[in-house]
Amino acid sequence: MPELPEVETVVRGLRAPLIGRTITGVWTDWPKVIRPYPPEEFAARVVGQTFRAINRRAKYILCQLDHDILAIHLKMTGRLYVSEAPEAADRWVHFRLALDNGQYLHFSDARRFGRVFLGMRLEEFAPNLGPEPLEDSFTVEVLRERLGKRQRNIKALLLDQSFIAGVGNIYADEALFRAGIHPLRRASNLTEAEIQRLYETIRAALAAGIDYEGASINWYRKPDGTAGKSQEHFFVYHREGQPCARCGQLIVKIRVSQRGTHYCPNCQPEA
């Protein structure tokens, strides 16, 4: 469960069960999920602290405690959910917090790529994050200025979290399709009209993903067992060989920055 729309959905769902709850215990069978302290030190620090707020920055879930920020990055396959008893959790739970009402916050991750951070400030574990594309402060001027004279291909830049925060592989492809921009176009060669379109489509693609409560492809399901519906509305992602919804040409899949990249060769012509 990666990508900003899923993370945003999780954040919203966790507020009700967590805010006001005090941590009474910590359990893990995989010390590497915890950063930067060893489990004993981590436990000594969080036990007794109460959840005050839950927010998101980039793809980090930020739990504001009394004195610290508990931050979770789900990476590719992480899940975060609250349940009554540990026995109700799935087989991939590698980290768990006990709460003062008898419930538990479970962090499950089949691939064990995800991490749980503890610190006073976000910058301690996530320096150099770019602007939030859905914030009012992210304007087309900001995007234009950041594109500047960058020579990288636009897909790689969209995936670069220090360039713009929170855009992952799915929504990078979707935003580029909506804007009619080929993923290998050089950032510095984009026209003013293309920059304007890309600004709008980054926000629109992310907003659509959030509206549909994220995507559920392959094995991924939301913690409650239901599936997000975003994948039913993809224009290009995971649609290689299928006709473009706009022109009928077949969607093509290539590799860019080690990632599967999908586009319509007719709607997104090469430079």
Partner DNA sequence: AGAAATACCCGTACGC
Partner DNA sequence: TGCGTACGGGTATTTC
- 146 labelled catalytic: no
Whichever of 144 and 152 has its CB closer to DNA, that residue is: 152
**Interface mask toward DNA for 28-67; x: CB under 7 A:** ----x-------------------------xx--------
The CA distance from 166 to 202, in Å, is 10
Q: Is 139 in the site for DNA (CB under 7 A)?
A: no
- 178 labelled catalytic: no
Whichever of 3 and 105 has its CB closer to DNA, that residue is: 3
Whichever of 33 and 99 has its CB closer to DNA, that residue is: 33
DSSP reduced 3-state for 252: strand
Closest CA to 199 of 146, 161, 268: 146
CA-based torsion, 212, 57, 2, 136: positive or negative:
positive
The CA distance from 186 to 270, in Å, is 10
- 41 labelled catalytic: no
Backbone angles phi, psi at 142, to 5 degrees: -60, -45
Q: Is 252 in the site for DNA (CB under 7 A)?
A: no
Residues numbered 88 to 107 that lie near DNA (CB under 7 A) are 91-92
Which is the catalytic residue, given 45, 59, 155, 239?
A: 59
What is the enclosing helix (H) or strand (E) of 57?
Answer: strand 53-57
Least separation in angstroms between residue 205's CB and DNA is 12
Q: Is 138 in the site for DNA (CB under 7 A)?
A: no
The CA distance from 248 to 242, in Å, is 8
**Interface mask toward DNA for 208-247; x: CB under 7 A:** ------xxxxxxx---------------------------
Least separation in angstroms between residue 144's CB and DNA is 15
Least separation in angstroms between residue 101's CB and DNA is 30
Q: Is 146 in the site for DNA (CB under 7 A)?
A: no
Whichever of 21 and 152 has its CB closer to DNA, that residue is: 152
Q: Is 126 in the site for DNA (CB under 7 A)?
A: yes
Closest CA to 117 of 209, 185, 42: 42
Phi-psi region of 241 (alpha: psi -120 to 50; beta: other; left: phi over 0): left
CB 39 within 8 A of CB 30: no
Of the residues 12, 52, 67, 111, which one makes contact with DNA according to CB under 7 A: 111
Closest CA to 106 of 89, 124, 120, 129: 89
The CA distance from 120 to 226, in Å, is 35
Binding site for DNA (CB under 7 A): 1-3, 6, 32, 58-59, 73, 75-76, 91-92, 110-113, 126, 150-153, 156, 159, 161, 168-170, 214-220, 257-260
Catalytic residue positions, numbered:
2-3, 59, 259
